[in-house]
Amino acid sequence: MLLVSCANKVGSDKYEDFAAFCFGRKMVLVTGWSNVSTLLGFVVSYIVFLKNLVPHILNEIFGRKNVPSLLNDGKYGGQIFWATIYSFLILTPLSMPRKIGALRFNSMFGVCCSFYLVMCIVFMFFLDRGLVKDIGAAFREAHYFDITWNGMVDAVPFVVFAFMYQPNIPIIYRELTTKSYGKMNKIVTIGSSFVVVLYILASMFGYLGLVGSPKGLETLKREQNILQVHYDNVAFTVAIIGLIFAIFAAAPIC
């Protein structure tokens, strides 16, 4: 909520104005380039994630042999195709609105899709006996607190990426009809807590669900993405498709 306090104090929602107010004009350029680099990195991450995920979903649904090479996961085929389609036909039009509030319905739909995915992972663990034959054994055989340097290097960017909404807080606060520091603080606290709970549930039960599947764990270790693990479950496939729409909704906010 320091960002909201800064916005109130400075009378602006721009980070460059924050820098000018606190450190003088010399820091405006540094702040501007840092902001652009950060947001550009987030958008590129979405594009890279999507160009890998869409071919994977098509292969899961139709089978690799039935998916044309133009749409498949080839480095110079499907990945370039999907990255181009997403960047110019989806991301660019959705990024044109000047007010972030114009994307509120997109954002709500994205939240619903993400919530469905997490609930799908949790329910698969408890109800899918083909995936988890013994719930108790999964808890007993899991390796807890296996902290390594490589694991930390992999995890920290994901944690930062999960809370990338922070740069938008001053803009959201500016567009509120009734501006209230207390209400904004409540919204941010509830929203952040909700995100933390969802990430914990997805990571915990996603891992526990694969404890009895060496092949699944190997895929998870190699891809660093539970969504690219093969699950023989229609609900999970639907959840991944929904996540694509969640990405469509979230990326323009960057």
pLDDT tens, position by position, 134-157: 899 889 888 887 778 877 877 777
pLDDT of residue 102: 66
What's the chain's average pLDDT?
82
pLDDT of residue 201: 92
pLDDT of residue 252: 61
Report, as an integer, the average pLDDT of 48-64: 84
pLDDT of residue 253: 60
How many Cα atoms within 13 Å fall on the side-chain side of residue 132? Answer: 24
Q: Which of 57, 207, 194, 213 is nearest to 122 (CA)?
A: 207
Report, as an integer, the average pLDDT of 197-217: 87
Whether pLDDT at 254 is above 60 = no
53 neighbors 240 (Cβ within 8 angstroms): yes
pLDDT tens, position by position, 20-49: 888 888 888 898 898 888 888 888 888 888
pLDDT of residue 159: 76
Report, as an integer, the average pLDDT of 217-229: 79
- DSSP, residue by residue, the chain: -HHHHHHHHHT---HHHHHHHHH-THHHHHHHHHHHHHHHHHHHHHHHHHHHHHHHHHHHHH-GGGS-TTTSS-TTTHHHHHHHHIIIIIIHHHT--SSGGGGHHHHHHHHHHHHHHHHHHHHHHHH-TTT-S-HHHHHHHS------HHHHHHHHHHHHHHTTTGGGHHHHHHH-SS--HHHHHHHHHHHHHHHHHHHHHHHHHHHHTTTT-HHHHHHHHHHS-GGGS----HHHHHHHHHHHHHHHHHGGG-
pLDDT of residue 122: 92
pLDDT bracket for residue 74 (50, 70, 90): confident
pLDDT tens, position by position, 95-129: 777 677 667 777 788 788 889 989 999 999 998 88
pTM of the predicted model, to two decimals? 0.79
pLDDT of residue 119: 92
Report, as an integer, the average pLDDT of 87-96: 82
pLDDT bracket for residue 177 (50, 70, 90): confident
pLDDT of residue 156: 79
Whether pLDDT at 75 is above 80 = no
Give the burial class of 238: count Cβ atoms within 10 A of its Cβ; 0-12 exposed, 13-18 middle, 19 or more buried. middle
Whether pLDDT at 172 is above 70 = yes
pLDDT above 90 as % of the chain? 5
